[in-house]
């Protein structure tokens, strides 16, 4: 479920999840490292990935797909603006 959970803030204040803003090569490297760590710690290799904040770019999707066989995500819910 991500590597660092690091967010970037856009100029408009919106937060962007790590699997959206990171470069594909970095995502690929960190995903492999994270999977290896889980395998070493838990004794089995993960096959399912859930991106932080359920957000992933198309280039990250390809990078993750090289080492993880299933991706689980949802479309973020849109919340109505609260008035007053």
Can you list the pairs that 12-19 forms with residues at least 24 positions away whose Cβ atoms lie under 8 Å? 15/53, 16/55, 17/51, 17/52, 17/53, 17/55, 17/56, 18/52, 19/51, 19/52, 19/55, 19/56, 19/57, 19/60, 19/64
The pTM score is: 0.72
SS3 call for 34: helix
The tens digit of pLDDT for each residue in 22-70 reads: 998 999 899 889 888 989 999 988 888 888 888 888 888 888 877 777 7
């Amino acid at each position: 479920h991500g590597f660092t959970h690091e967010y970037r803030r856009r100029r408009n204040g919106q937060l962007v999840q790590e699997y959206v803003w990171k470069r594909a090569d970095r995502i690929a490297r960190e995903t492999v490292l994270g999977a290896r760590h889980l395998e070493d710690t838990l004794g089995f290799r993960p096959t399912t990935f859930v991106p932080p904040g359920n957000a992933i770019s198309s280039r990250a999707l390809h990078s993750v797909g090289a080492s993880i066989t299933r991706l689980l995500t949802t479309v973020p819910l849109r919340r109505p603006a609260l008035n007053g």
